[in-house]
Amino acid sequence: MPRPRRHDPARRERIVDAALRVAARSGIAGLSHRTVAAEADVPLGSTTYHFASLDELLVAALRKANEGFDRLLRENSALTAPGTDLAAALARLLGEWLGGERARVELEYELYLAALRRPALRPVAVEWAETVVAALSPHTDPVTARALVALMDGICLQSLLTDEPYDEVYAREMLGRVLRKP
């Protein structure tokens, strides 16, 4: 007699969370259906049932990883206040994000940059950038918003790569330069 199937509606989400933990610990190269199944404490077949390919699992992981910065962006009252100093608000936001758990920030960038070699991840990486551009566009034009996103990415990457502490004063000055009209 076959065993009754156990109803587990949160299993997919647990698998994604496990993938993020594995990738944070071992990098994307250490991610496999097998390592994720072991981390999530689910049968291997569960990971392949919910995610037919590793790229599908990485897409879900990247979407979940993007939620952290997106939440900071949405909850930042300075970005919605009229007459806000956008450069100062963004510099403070970056400091808050980078001041969190470093491994999480590194993982977000690792997943984001993996889109260079894994085309399946590109739409999610583009979605993230478009979300930030949309959040900034009420304060400036879309072209300047894109330049701000590029500069913020560069500042964050340099801070992560050099192990230098984040310099909010520098970030505010550079963001302010992009916002100044020629």
Domain boundaries, the chain: 1-52, 65-179
Q: Are 174 and 151 in contact (CB under 8 A)?
A: yes
**Is pLDDT of 56 > 80?**
yes
Helix axes 11-26, 102-114, angle to 10 degrees: 100
Among the residue ranges 4-13, 47-56, 94-103, the one predicted with the least confidence is 4-13
Q: Are 112 and 58 in contact (CB under 8 A)?
A: no
Mean pLDDT of 50-55: 94
Residue 3 pLDDT grade (very low, low, confident, very high; cuts 50, 70, 90): very low
Write the pLDDT tens digit of every residue in 139-182.
Answer: 899 999 999 999 999 999 999 999 889 999 999 999 999 999 66
Q: Are 110 and 27 in contact (CB under 8 A)?
A: yes
The architecture in CATH of the region 65-179 reads Orthogonal Bundle (1.10)
Write the pLDDT tens digit of every residue in 82-114.
Answer: 788 999 999 999 999 898 888 888 888 898 889
**Answer CATH for 1-52 from 3.40.50.300, 3.40.1390.20, 3.40.50.1000, 1.10.10.60:** 1.10.10.60
Residue 6 pLDDT grade (very low, low, confident, very high; cuts 50, 70, 90): low
